Structure 1
């Protein structure tokens, strides 16, 4: 059995679903079920004895200690995090509490559990921490992509909180010998993503004929990684990664935001034509967010060289799958796009003139 934290969120739920489909090893899933955690993501596992769900906080040390003692997982995969830059600007405290303090409590309980294991189990145990490329800061147009040795330079409360958790994970390996692994990924997209993020927000707004808010000039560049590819990469790192190492995971898909949005519009024009005209008519440039990093790019050659992993999806294949999924899963979208989501749109976009 493995313990997955944050396994009802976007990436975590995709990981749990793929893990049980492809490997079948039981999963203990701990998730706080904040606004972005959604048990509907895991509806297909209802009644499946291989999936044990527990609602709870990684910062609840008594709960984590009990779960580790009772279920004796061979690994912990930590997805649990607050993860939206805009939300961190409006309210950074939640990010510090979950991403820094929560990670610390989880590491402490993992260390105590690991130290008490029999020697063979202790040698096999792994703690895999899932992080982001945003910890590296922002790149200029001609700068080389981020590598695993790029100095940290976080520019938002979110990325600063993730950088802090990365440093804690590193410290627990070097100080206590905890067998840790860290992954830093680029922007994920795909099924089950909460629609505050760029791609699902654009799909939902376009289908409803609402403005498509583009920050600044729309030329901020990101590397885009299909979530299914991210899941296979994490599995590769967990199975074969060198203890104490960091692995960057990217999709080799650097694109400016405006190109992403126009691609979504073109696909919707094909798959769900709007009688009112092309969806690109809804493009609306709005005030940029504070501290908006200009460019991220991931050099993922280390994971390819050491573990033989490369993404299976191109951006063209992944974005088509993603748009189709949102169009085909109207019930999921309607349940997710409820009061909390509407409140967030009002809070973040009204002042920018895009609501």
Structure 2
């Protein structure tokens, strides 16, 4: 009798092991590849470089990275957050074909995107002269997540081969030498962006920045009014920096602002009771950094609910003695 009793006691545990084992065995591996990247373009930036760009994958696609190919040759592997790359070390006056494949966490590769082709221009010997900067830059929002940037043509002693669009000092797009406008996507709603454009020649000489163009994307559907300080200015004087802006319309006085310098929070500007500016605000900072130091400055307001609002446009200034 003790033996059957022992068997009855262990039978449920055995059944549980079998059940769990069967469940694990029924889990199929992930073999579904993500969709091919869309919007692939290739633009020669110089005699030896081509700028390749594509649209970011949707969050539901599970993409963890991209592989960039020149013909059948793998030239770069990039994380999911990077959707453009300069392919270097190319030959002048040569045609190239590029494609991109997306990869997911299980290692599945998407089909190749339709190939994008570019031909590098001829190399110019001893070309050290940069193009002129585009004299005019304008920008306008075309939706909560998109904008259009337009610029005037630049000149060069050889030829302009590309225009590079920058957002707060970071290149986000490259256009061809005959283009003067481009559409940008993937922006954030209710956000101020500052765009500049540089011209580039076949020897990879870049012009100075053209004039900055600010654009504010509208809030997405269902969101409230824009919360970014408007018309932000920054001016350096000996030992000081003077900031100016128009307060956002939040429904009540805005007395607190957070200042960022070179991408990092630096100080909180507070206006005391009775001193809160009703429209245009101004604040003077005393600085001790040496002359020639470059600052990129922007700020945001404390909203009535206690959270921080959207950032103002960013301004770059050089400190003076």
Query: Under TM normalisation by the shorter chain, which class is it?
Result: under 0.3
The answer to which structure has the higher helix fraction is 1
Query: Relative contact order: is structure 1 or structure 2 higher (C-alpha 8 Å, sep ≥ 6)?
Result: 1
State which structure, 1 or 2, has the greater radius of gyration over its C-alpha atoms: 2
